[in-house]
Amino acid sequence: MTTHATKVKISAKNTLITEQLKAKKTLFSVMLVVLFSSAGIALPYPVLAPLFLNEVSPLTTFADLPSKILLGIILAIYPLGVILGSSVLGAASGIYGRKKTLIITLILTAVSYVLSALAVMAESFLLLILARFITGIFSGNISIAKAIAVDLSPTLDKTHTFSLVNATSYLGWLLGPLAGGLLAIYGLDTVFYFAAVAIVIALISVAYVLPAGNSKSDQPKIKFSQLFSKQNSFALLANKKIRRIFLIYLLATLGLNAYYEFYPVWLVENFDFTSPDIGYITVVLTLFMTITSVFFVKQLKYLLGLKLGAIVGMMLMALLFSLHLVLSATSIWPIYAIIGIAIAIFNGLLPVYISEQYADIEQGQLMGLITTTFSLANMLMALIGSVLALFGAHWAILFGAFLLIIASIDFHFSQKDIR
C-alpha cells in the first residue's frame, strides 16, 4: 500500500510538472505576441511626426489640409480601430478558440503593416488611413493574449502571469520607438516592413508553441459579423456590476492617459526637453514599470490584497501627478521612476481584481472590455486634455490626478475585497 501511494504521489507530481511546463511555454508564446505587437504599434511614432511636420509630399499635403491635422488623423485612426477590434476579438476567441483566432488576427496584422508600407511608398494618405485602421482592429488581439494568460490559472499564478505580460508590453513600448528611430533613416516604409516581420515571428511562436485550445462546445457558433451586435465586449455592460467597475476603470485609465499623453508636452513647456531627452526619461519610466511588474507586483498582491493594492497604485499615481506643480528639472527623474512603479502596481492588480471578481464571465470578452476601455480613455483624454493643455499641460495632468482620486474612492466603497 505504501509503495502504491508513493507511486501515485510521484505520478501526480510528474503530471503537475508537465502541466506547469506546458503553461510556461504557452506564457512565453503569449509574451512574444505582446512584445512584438506592442513594439510594432510603437515603431512608427518617432517617424510619423517628423514626416508630417518636416516633409512636403502628396502624403503630407492631402486635400491641402494642415500637416498637423493630417498627423492627428493618422494618430487617432489607430486607437479607433483598437476599440472596434478589441471589443469583439476577445469574445471571438472564446467562441472559435484562442489559438485559431490569434493566428488569423496575427496574419491580418502583418498584412496591414505591409499595406501601410505600400501606402507610404505610393504616398497615398487615404490608403495609409485604411491600413492604420485595419492594423488597429487586429492589434486588438492583445486582449486574446491576456485571456490566454488568465486561462493558465491556477496552474500558474494569475497575478504573476499578468505582471509578466504587462512587463513584456512595457518592454515593447520601450524597444519599439528605439527601433523606429534607428530605422527612420531608411524610410517609414522600412519601419512598417520591420513591424510586419516582428509580427510574423510572434505568429510562428503561436503556431508551434501554443497548444490547440477548444472552442466552447456548449455555445452555438455564430457568424463573425454577429459578434459586433451580439458578442462584443460592450454587451457586458448590460450587467449593472460590470457597468460600475467599467466606470471605475474608465475614470482610472482616463487619469493615467492624461499623464501618458501630456507629460512630453509638459517637459517641453517647462524644461525645453528635446526628443532625445524625452526618450531618456521615458526609458527610466518604462524600466521601473518593467522591474516592478516582474519582481514586486505578485508580492504586493499577497501583502496588500488586490483591492487595497490597486487603490494604493491609483492614489500614488494621483499624488505623483499632482507634484507636477512643483517639480524641478532635477527632481523629475526620481519622481518619474516612482511613477513607473505606481503605474505597474495599478496595471498589475486592478485587471486581475476584475478577472477574479467576475471569473464566471468569459475571460476573452472581459479582457476585450478592459482593452477597449483603455483605448476609449486614450481617445477621450486626447480630446479633453488638448483643450486643458491650451492653458498649460500641467492642467491636463492635474485633471488626471483628480479622476484617479474619484476612481479610488468609488472603487473603495462599491467593490468587495477579495484575496
**What's this model's pTM, rounded to 2 decimal places?**
0.74
Q: In the chain, count H helices and then E strands.
A: 15, 0
Which has more pLDDT, 45 or 150?
Answer: 150
pLDDT of residue 49: 63
Which has more pLDDT, 278 or 296?
Answer: 296
If we measure between CA atoms, which residue out of 3, 129, 115 comes closest to residue 73? Answer: 129
pLDDT of residue 397: 95
pLDDT of residue 275: 60
pLDDT classification of 224: cutoffs 50, 70, 90 = low
Which span out of 75-89, 358-372, 396-410 was modeled with the highest average pLDDT? 396-410
Query: Contact, 408 vs 311, CB < 8 A?
Result: yes
For range 273-301, the mean pLDDT: 83
pLDDT classification of 96: cutoffs 50, 70, 90 = confident
Helix, strand and coil in the chain, % to nearest 5: 85, 0, 15
Compute φ and ψ for 210, nearest 5 degrees: -70, 125
Which span out of 207-221, 308-322, 360-374 was modeled with the highest average pLDDT? 308-322
Q: Is the pLDDT of residue 1 over 70?
A: no
> What dihedral do alpha carbons 272, 390, 75, 400 form, nearest 10°?
90
Least confident stretch, 59-73, 254-268, 336-350: 59-73
Mean pLDDT (the chain, rounded): 83
Which span out of 148-162, 238-252, 255-269 was modeled with the highest average pLDDT? 238-252
Compute φ and ψ for 39, nearest 5 degrees: -65, -40
For range 76-94, the mean pLDDT: 78
Which has more pLDDT, 348 or 89?
Answer: 348
pLDDT classification of 30: cutoffs 50, 70, 90 = confident
Q: Is the pLDDT of residue 217 over 50?
A: no
Q: Is the pLDDT of residue 132 over 50?
A: yes
Distance CA 129, CA 77 (A): 7
Q: Is the pLDDT of residue 9 over 70?
A: no
Least confident stretch, 34-43, 182-191, 202-211, 350-359: 34-43
Which has more pLDDT, 309 or 48?
Answer: 309
Q: Is the pLDDT of residue 414 over 50?
A: yes
Q: Is the pLDDT of residue 262 over 50?
A: yes
Q: Is the pLDDT of residue 180 over 80?
A: no
pLDDT of residue 6: 62
Least confident stretch, 136-140, 219-223, 237-241: 219-223
